[in-house]
Amino acid sequence: MEVSVTYCAKHLNKEKQTPEELFAPTYDELDKKATDWLKRTSENCTVVAALNATVAFSAAYSIYTRRTK
């Protein structure tokens, strides 16, 4: 996947840096933050899914026991 036009990737700024050289130092920090965010989000989703399953199971079980009495 190409993000920018090829000729733009070769341009230099005032410090003689290409876009890749300018972005590379900040990428590591962004990558770490994104990884941490994704881990926290997936943990929270797992907790919510477990709670939903518990409520659904208990509701289904209580309906079943009422019908069998």
- Answer whether residue 31 is part of any domain: yes
Q: 26-55, pLDDT tens digit by residue?
A: 888 899 999 999 999 999 999 899 999 999
pLDDT at 1: 42
Whole-prediction pTM: 0.50
Q: Which of 16, 18, 36 lies closest to 28, judged by CA?
A: 36
Beta-carbon contacts of 12 under 8 Å, excluding residues fewer than 6 positions away, are 18
8 Cβ neighbours under 8 A, 6+ residues apart: 19
Q: State the total domains in the chain.
A: 1
- Please check whether residue 4 lies inside any domain of the structure: no
Structural domain containing residue 43: 19-67
Task: Report if residue 58 sits inside a domain.
Answer: yes
